[in-house]
A and B are shown apart, each in its own frame.
Chain A
C-alpha cells in the first residue's frame, strides 16, 4: 500500500512540476523582448499599422481572433500567417504557440507581442 501511495504521489508530483515549469515558461514568453527581426514587405506594406496573427490549421481560436482584431481595430490591417506554411517566419519571431499576435508598424518593425487569444482580447477589447 505504501509503495502504491508513493507511486501515486510521484505521478501527481510530476504533473504538478510540469504545470509549474510551463507557467514559468509562458510568463517568460509573454514578457519576452521583441526579437530583432522585421516583417517582410508583403506582410505590412500599404498600412501604417498591421496586426500579424500567427495561426496553425488546428487552431480553432485563431479565426475568431483575426475577426476580433478586424472589428476592434479597423484602422489597422490584419494579416494571418499560417505558421505551418511559413515556418521560417514563425521561427524568426520565436513563435511557439497559436495564436501569437504582433502589432507592427508600416516598416515591418514589431511593436507589441501577445501570446494566446485571451492576451489579445485583453489588450484590444472589442
Chain B
C-alpha cells in the first residue's frame, strides 16, 4: 500500500524551520529590520525549491540537531510542507515588494501573517499551507500517491 511516492521526512525538520522563521520575523518586526523579510524569503525558497539539503535551517537541523535527538515518533509526507514553504515565499516576496513600494504597513502585515502561521505550525503542528495542499489535491481529483514507507 505505501510503496510509492517520495520518502517520508522527519517532521521536526520543517517544525524547526517554521520556528526559526517565526522568531526571526517577529524580532525583525520588533526592531523594524526589514531586511529579515527578503533574507528569509531566500532561506525558505532554497528549501522549498531544491530540498532540505539546500535550506540552511533544514540542513542545520539535519546535521546538528537531529543526531542529538531520538528517532521521530512519526514521519510525514514532504510534499505538503514544501508547498506551505512555497506559499510562505510568495507572501514574503510580496512583503518585500510592499516595502520597496513604500508601503511598510502592508509589508509587515504580510510578514506577520507568515510569522503567525509558521509559529502556529511550529507550536501546534497545524500547518495551514499543508491543509491547502491537501484541499487542492482533493479538488483537482488527482489520484493521491501515498508516501513511501521508510
**Interface positions of A (Cβ within 8 A of B):** 1, 4-5, 7-8, 11-12, 14-16, 18-19, 22, 57-64, 66-67, 80, 84, 116-118
The residue that B149 contacts in the complex, of A8, A63, A117, A118, with Cβ under 8 A, is A63
Q: Which residues of A contact B120 (CB under 8 A)?
A: 14-15, 18
Q: Are A58 and B134 in contact (CB under 8 A)?
A: yes
The residue that A19 contacts in the complex, of B2, B75, B124, B150, with Cβ under 8 A, is B124
Closest to A15 in B: B119
Q: Are B116 and A15 in contact (CB under 8 A)?
A: yes
In whole angstroms, how far apart are the Cα atoms of A4 and B77 in the complex? 36
Q: Are B1 and A7 in contact (CB under 8 A)?
A: no
Residue B60 is within 8 A (CB to CB) of chain A in the complex: no
Q: Which residues of B contact A59 (CB under 8 A)?
A: 77
The residue that B75 contacts in the complex, of A1, A60, A84, with Cβ under 8 A, is A60
Known: A16-B123, A60-B2. 19 other contacts (CB 8 A): A1-B30, A4-B29, A7-B29, A11-B26, A11-B112, A15-B123, A18-B123, A22-B126, A57-B145, A58-B77, A58-B79, A58-B80, A58-B134, A60-B9, A62-B2, A63-B2, A64-B149, A66-B1, A80-B1
Q: Are A84 and B144 in contact (CB under 8 A)?
A: yes
**Interface positions of B (Cβ within 8 A of A):** 1-2, 8-9, 26, 29-30, 32, 73-77, 79-80, 112, 115-116, 119-120, 123-124, 126, 134, 138, 144-147, 149-150
B46 CB → nearest A CB, Å: 23
Q: How many A-B residue pairs have CB under 8 A?
A: 76
Q: Which residues of B contact A1 (CB under 8 A)?
A: 30
In whole angstroms, how far apart are the Cα atoms of A33 and B27 in the complex? 44
Q: Are A60 and B29 in contact (CB under 8 A)?
A: no
Q: Are A15 and B138 in contact (CB under 8 A)?
A: no
The residue that B30 contacts in the complex, of A8, A15, A58, A62, with Cβ under 8 A, is A8
Q: Are B115 and A11 in contact (CB under 8 A)?
A: yes
B70 CB → nearest A CB, Å: 13
The residue that A57 contacts in the complex, of B8, B30, B123, B146, with Cβ under 8 A, is B146
Q: Are A60 and B147 in contact (CB under 8 A)?
A: yes
In whole angstroms, how far apart are the Cα atoms of A5 and B126 in the complex? 25
Q: Which residues of A contact B75 (CB under 8 A)?
A: 60-61, 64
